[in-house]
Chains A and B, each alone.
Chain A
């Protein structure tokens, strides 16, 4: 479907050096360095700012004096959030939902992608079409809600882990990978008497460790970060994932803000550190694994683009 010609990456990617760099070019290089430094600073600033706020004394935040460095170093709020049993329950929910949803997604996506990668399969085009069409047209919020409710999935883990089990982009990435495996391997397996499932389990999957790792990360990060499905289908706070915990915290704050009035001002301000601390605690796991997972994501995106 999506075809972006990336072809063979050449080694000398950058523009070959001209005979002599002109003065204009040197000025450009300097300006470029400044712009890119700006990009880095603007990208990182919000993170630093949130950490500084989370570690600061409330009074300094209210006074509008916290930017890069914490002022009036204070860990009370961390203790407060970490001793909130609901925070831990919700965090555990996030972990459970992510693990279960990723497992379901992986199984369904692998099976469908494997079937789609068989060129001789009858009706293959239609099966691809069924999936791709949903990328551009969907039933919409209301019919989905009505369906999930009538299936009795509301307020159960299934409402969170099932409805988004197959991501079509991921499906196409995986299909592209399976198509790149040599056909002879599977023919040999068939000659040796393995059936379709045997071939998939014993021959294809062991060769697909890299793509499976990529898929696990794609799905896990998106389920870890998701909030709306849980927000929509779960009513009991013991079932919430931590993203909904955070959303309720910030929604409470804006609610107080838009209500206005002096009386609410204190409540809003008291929430400032609380929000910052919760943001830091929910972002931490992502930041911790980010350096290790980033390259899998990049290669996954490229694979999807080269032949989708």
Chain B
């Protein structure tokens, strides 16, 4: 019973708590707000230019993350799969999983050190004859920094399921392909990739599910007012609206909108995947 109670209180009650998006909320008052205001807050944020700016940033950052963080583990897994020396393979795997175990605060702190004016990146820039750049204060660099650090942290860990799937591909398929005169590239293309397709689709759908939430904690740690033009995303904007400006209802309305888009995306991706390649989450 206790676990069910946990879900009801800490997961479903907050969902119901979203009614404050449509009600006037006063701190210290009812969890569910005071009185109905209808779609007032929804209309407010739809007319808010900053909202559309952070909406665009969310889409851009989410797309970039998907473009790099989804395929790179596949590439790395394929490369690892070709390694003949078992110990070498295991060593590379162990090293590449490591960043997954770090707190996001530590990752952010490392990023700051590496990109600071006296950090390694700027030493290289100067070594090549350029001038130092305060990277984390330049909006045009934020996306690069964010995506690179995301890749650094996730690529190794992401290979685990692919490596497992690769071991299940039937040897005879390779044999048959070779007899048909297929080169190694063609074997990879026609045997290996179809073999891990169900894994790819499942992980793609799950990735799409987190698309809207794009690394809220990491952005919160790495951004600052100077980089808001590219770094501020829906989740960080609603965080500031809620906790710095105390507009709880307004922030809740934005949060609900974000969550609904996220849910729609994952359901749509799941249906498309089911229809086209027959892989689905449930």
Contact = CB atoms under 8 A, between A and B. Distances in A.
A45 B120 CA distance: 10
Interface stretch (B14-22, B42-50, B54-62, B139-147): B14-22
A246 B152 contact: no
Contact of B165 (A4, A16, A32, A251): A4
Residues of B contacting A: mostly = helix
Contact of B14 (A135, A139, A254): A139
Nearest to B33: A146
Nearest to B242: A142
B17 A305 contact: no
Interface stretch (A7-15, A80-88, A177-185, A206-214): A7-15
Contacts of A225: 101-106
Nearest to B127: A64
B113 A139 contact: no
Interface in A1-32: 1-10, 12-16, 18, 24-25, 28-29, 32
B95 interface: yes
Contact of A4 (B84, B126, B187, B199): B199
Chain A interface category by residue count: 35 or more
A89 interface: no
B110 interface: yes
A109 to B, nearest CB: 7
B15 A61 contact: no
B18 A140 contact: yes
Interface in A140-179: 140-147, 150, 162-163, 165-166
A226 B132 CA distance: 33
B242 to A, nearest CB: 5
Contact of A243 (B80, B105, B134): B105
Contacts of B105: 225, 227, 243-244, 246-247, 250, 282
Contacts of A45: 120
Contacts of B248: 142, 146
Contacts of B199: 4-5, 305
A20 B125 CA distance: 45
A5 B105 CA distance: 35
B7 A147 contact: no
A243 B103 contact: yes
Interface string A63-80: 111110000000000000
B63 to A, nearest CB: 20
Interface residues of B, number: 103
A15 B174 contact: yes
B31 A141 contact: no
Interface string B1-41: 01110110111111111101000010000010000000000
Given A39-B76, A139-B15, A250-B221, A108 B168 contact: no
A275 interface: yes
A261 to B, nearest CB: 13
Contacts of B152: 42-43, 46
B161 A32 contact: no
Interface string B147-174: 0000010011000110011111001001
A301 interface: yes
B207 interface: no
A224 interface: yes
B252 A140 contact: yes
Nearest to B266: A136
B14 A49 contact: no
Residue from A12, A138, A143, A144 having most chain B Cβ neighbours under 10 A? A143
A282 B10 contact: no
A134 B242 contact: no
A144 B14 contact: yes
A162 B10 contact: yes
A132 B266 CA distance: 13
Contact of A305 (B83, B161, B251): B161
Given A10-B167, A67-B120, A139 B11 contact: yes
Interface in B96-114: 96-99, 101-106, 108-110, 112-114
Contacts of A232: 243
B117 interface: yes
A291 B98 CA distance: 9
Contacts of A138: 11, 14-15, 259
B2 A143 contact: no
A257 B98 CA distance: 30
B273 interface: no
Contacts of B113: 46, 49-50, 53, 272, 275-276, 279
15 contacts: A13-B81, A15-B82, A44-B95, A45-B120, A46-B152, A112-B4, A139-B12, A141-B238, A146-B31, A147-B17, A225-B103, A225-B106, A253-B112, A279-B110, A305-B164
**10 nearest interchain CB pairs?**
A139-B14, A143-B17, A140-B255, A225-B103, A112-B3, A143-B14, A64-B118, A142-B252, A13-B167, A139-B15
Interface of A: 1-10, 12-16, 18, 24-25, 28-29, 32, 35-36, 39-40, 42-46, 49-50, 53, 61-67, 108-109, 111-112, 115, 127, 130-132, 134-147, 150, 162-163, 165-166, 221, 224-228, 232, 243-244, 246-247, 249-251, 253-255, 257-258, 269, 272, 275-276, 278-279, 282-283, 286, 290-291, 294, 297-298, 301-302, 305
